[in-house]
Structure 1
């Protein structure tokens, strides 16, 4: 009996009527400034000896100056997550194993989130112009 009520409340129409999508959008808008504050701050404090307050400031400034790249970055990662989820769901439904979708999606989600966190270093290198590790700079004084 509970299953029927749960299924009815998760239809797109029911979600729209409950304002769930609006609440999700609002929560995302509230989260963005916090994400901008802490995107580069740990790296700046740990690797560049920047004081924490300045690191928070420069993290926001760097995110703002590269906002176009971050929009593309976010859209691409959202597409990867959504595409993987949909493809895996369709595959499992076609194989008749739809009941195991959540069980299989958990390790896949962990893998995608790990890849996302690994990509943070590339955003740091791109925004701050950091050279490859071990690369030496040469002077043109010869």
Structure 2
């Protein structure tokens, strides 16, 4: 496995390649993303255990989706069972992927603890449980959650971006995969910055703009019927583009 260095403009190319990959089997990829979102929402209903289960299985699901990308390129049929392929790759690979899930859950727990020290969650709780109007101070806390959350999650994302695939496809140990993933993201940080900036505009700015236009026309309730499909398609294409980042940053032997 060889690490490559990508030019900053490659961030845009990864998105184009993700669009191309999505076109190979749009229904199959949409099915996988919808399954993940649906199951995750059901799991969150179960206090603590449900959230932990989602975090634990996130690397497994990542391997499954990346495998589906390979299958689409090879014109193979994508099945829901592809999500389980990481657990069916032998005992050593299965154990390592589950260990990586434990690491990810621990990192998210640590991030949540640090975030709780920086933001007043007690002020945000009424926003989620009542219909009271948002106060300026509560809005400030929302912005702090978004900013601090993004900053704290970046190192976790760098560690986890490629590590599930490096374990499943390159037979690396958990520490080696985490370090290699971080090194790949850091080596290509300019391309990743460009890549994430474009996706932020697509997944955040476009839905907000559509919502504002519909609100101005007094069709606010109808906006969800347009924003939801666009957001789902954008999220699916973004997941497809993860495979493009893998092919650009690593060369398989």
TM-score, normalization: structure 1? Answer: 0.73
Give the whole-Å Cα distance in 2 for the aligned partners of 1:10 and 1:101. Answer: 25
User: Following superposition of structure 1 onto structure 2, how do residues 17-96 of structure 1 map, counting pairs within 5 Å?
Assistant: 19-93=141-215, 96=218
Of residues 237, 244, 253 in structure 2, which corresponds to 1:115? Answer: 237
How far the C-alpha of 1:113 sits from its partner, in A, is: 1.0
**Equivalent position SS for 2:172:** coil
Give the whole-Å Cα distance in 2 for the aligned partners of 1:88 and 1:130. Answer: 42
Aligned equivalent of 1:15:
139
Structure with more relative contact order (C-alpha pairs < 8 Å, separation 6 or more) = 2
How far the C-alpha of 1:46 sits from its partner, in A, is: 1.1
Which range moved further: 109-118 or 54-63? 109-118
Larger radius of gyration between Structure 1 and Structure 2: 1
Which range moved further: 96-105 or 22-31? 96-105
Provide closer, same or farther for how the CA distance between residues 10 and 74 of structure 1 changes in structure 2, counting only shifts above 3 A: farther
Q: What is the number of residues matched between the two proteins?
A: 124
Q: Deviations over 1:2-52 (max 9, x none)?
A: 76x43xx177x8623xx3212211111111111111100111111111112
Taking only aligned residues, the RMSD between alpha carbons, in angstroms, comes to 2.5
Which range moved further: 88-97 or 25-34? 88-97
TM-score, normalization: structure 2? Answer: 0.44
Q: Deviations over 1:76-104 (max 9, x none)?
A: 10111234213422553466421222343
Give the whole-Å Cα distance in 2 for the aligned partners of 1:60 and 1:24. Answer: 23
Unaligned segments of structure 1, at least 5 residues = 132-142
